[in-house]
A and B are shown apart, each in its own frame.
Chain A
Amino acid sequence: MKTLSICALLFLAAVPARAQVDLAGDWRAVQHEDTFRRGGVLVGEYVGIPLTPGGRLRAESWTASQLTVPEHQCIPHPVTYAEHSYAMGQMRVWNVVDPETAKIVAIRKRGTWMEPERTIWLDGRPHPPAEAPHTWQGFSTGRWDGHVLTVTTTHIKSGHLQMNGVALSDDVTLTEYFTRRGNYLTNVTILHDPVYLTEPFIRSSTWELDPSLNFVRYPCGPNEIVVEIPRPPNFVPHVLPGQNTGLDEFAVRYGIPVEAAGGGAETMYPEYLQRMKTAPVPAAPKPAAAAAAAR
């Protein structure tokens, strides 16, 4: 009897090691977090991001005109950004079952804009070697820690962290924690990028289960690539270092120092509030100057 009880306890204890929570279904983004970052950021708006000087230089050299060249028109959001973006405004999740064992060996998920689709392997396979090809959605493996699905993603192409030039390198590692509470699913993401971030960058997003969701298609492929803006052949839109005239607009709009708007780990902690009191705040441009800038 004692042996039977021990066996029963061992069996019950082993159950949580499996996928305890079903994440499958159609989910609609709640959009109540980081709303200011969801696509509408200004050039020079890097607050709260632990950028390296190199990361800031790259961001300051960016121009939105780059998005219009044929080579860039259909670039999807990389997984590092997609999870918190329009791409996952609607999200479909389904399980991949091994027909031989009936075990869930992977979770697949798909978004709408540019239709990013990724696989989260749960079968214990290793990540590929470092020199393996990188993709926009990377290579993901997951494990269940209690009711939390912890996912590690590597092999992600160098892409954007924000749609204003803030970039991540292809050395970035994404760690995600998916937690379902009833009909709500939250993903907390932590980015480690040894090239462009000096500290981990943490964000979260939440979705609500919506079985009646009209899941839309939003493809972008070779047939979609056109000449959006007529330009000379081979022209690459760019801004040379030191020539970006719009970098202080965010600081002016909110009355904060330019260095605070420029991010960096030192600006992310309460101690920085003291420095903000003495750091110079840019003055709003006079109407005539603003009009000239808008030509």
Chain B
Amino acid sequence: MARHLLLGMYLVLTIGAARTFAHHSFAATYLEDQSVTIEGELVQFMYRNPHSFVHVMVKQKDGTSIRYAVEWGGVGQLGYQGVTKDTLKAGDFVIISGSPARNPDDHRVRMITLKRPKDGFNWGQREGEVVD
């Protein structure tokens, strides 16, 4: 419980820090006080500026799938953290938590954490691992 509390405090602090100098308004783009978790097969990883995007096919209750676009950091930020264009590959099963978009039709999420269970790779729980 204490660990979760610390993680929560960390996320609040880091998200708050991002607000001070984000290059576009996350507040105007995402519901920052809400969180969603999606999981599915990664179909595309766009490692680029100004921000990277991860596209994930998420199965719905009715059996259909929706392609979600998850906004991640830019090349400089992710590269500094050891993430390269080859870190994620199409076909990877990933679990992602993040802030949902204000426009639900976009099926878009601002990444807070990413986990790849098959090898334990994760992002978003170490200092500086926040999309800004």
Name A's B-contacting residues (CB within 8 A): 29, 31, 35, 38-43, 63-65, 67-68, 73-74, 77, 85-87, 89, 113-114, 162-165, 216-220, 223-224, 226, 228-230, 237, 246, 294-295
Q: Which of A73, A86, A246 contacts B23 (CB 8 A)?
A: A86
Residues of B within 8 A of A223 (CB): 48
What does DSSP make chain A's interface, helix, strand, loop or mixed?
loop
Q: Within the complex, what minimum Cβ distance (angstroms) separates B67 from chain A?
A: 6
Q: Which of B31, B50, B101, B106 contacts A220 (CB 8 A)?
A: B50
Residues of B within 8 A of A74 (CB): 50
Residues of B within 8 A of A39 (CB): 19-26
- Interface range, B side: 20 to 34
Q: Give bound CA distance, A41 to B50, whole Å.
A: 19
Q: Give bound CA distance, A266 to B2, whole Å.
A: 49
Q: Within the complex, what minimum Cβ distance (angstroms) separates B65 from chain A?
A: 12
Between-chain CB contacts (< 8 Å), 22 pairs: A31-B21, A35-B20, A39-B19, A39-B22, A39-B26, A40-B26, A42-B27, A63-B103, A64-B24, A64-B25, A65-B106, A68-B69, A86-B22, A113-B50, A114-B50, A163-B24, A218-B49, A220-B49, A226-B48, A229-B107, A230-B69, A246-B102
Select the residue from B31, B46, B100, B102 with max chain A CB neighbours within 10 A.
Answer: B102
Contact: B23 with A113, CB < 8 Å? yes
Q: Give bound CA distance, A291 to B22, whole Å.
A: 26
Q: Give bound CA distance, A223 to B74, whole Å.
A: 14
Q: Which residue of A lies closest to B18 (CB)?
A: A40
Q: Give bound CA distance, A295 to B103, whole Å.
A: 9
Q: Give bound CA distance, A40 to B102, whole Å.
A: 14
Chain B 48-86 near chain A by CB (<8 Å), digits 1 or 0: 111001010000000000010101001010000000000
Q: Which of B21, B55, B103, B107 contacts A64 (CB 8 A)?
A: B103
A-B contact count (CB 8 A): 103
Contact: A31 with B20, CB < 8 Å? yes
Contact: A40 with B27, CB < 8 Å? yes
Q: Determine if B5 is an interface residue (Cβ-Cβ < 8 Å).
A: no
Q: Give bound CA distance, A35 to B22, whole Å.
A: 10
Residues of B within 8 A of A38 (CB): 19-22
Q: Give bound CA distance, A217 to B76, whole Å.
A: 8
Q: Within the complex, what minimum Cβ distance (angstroms) separates A174 from chain B?
A: 20
Q: Within the complex, what minimum Cβ distance (angstroms) separates A234 from chain B?
A: 16
Q: Determine if B34 is an interface residue (Cβ-Cβ < 8 Å).
A: yes
Residues of B within 8 A of A230 (CB): 55, 67, 69
Residues of A within 8 A of B71 (CB): 228
Q: Within the complex, what minimum Cβ distance (angstroms) separates B11 from chain A?
A: 16
Select the residue from A42, A77, A163 with max chain B CB neighbours within 10 A.
Answer: A163
Q: Determine if B120 is an interface residue (Cβ-Cβ < 8 Å).
A: no
Q: Within the complex, what minimum Cβ distance (angstroms) separates B79 from chain A?
A: 10
Pick the 8 closest A-B CB pairs, nearest first.
A40-B19, A39-B22, A64-B29, A163-B25, A86-B23, A164-B28, A224-B48, A220-B49
Q: Which of A68, A87, A294 contacts B106 (CB 8 A)?
A: A68
Q: Give bound CA distance, A236 to B48, whole Å.
A: 23
Q: Give bound CA distance, A246 to B74, whole Å.
A: 28
Q: Give bound CA distance, A42 to B100, whole Å.
A: 15
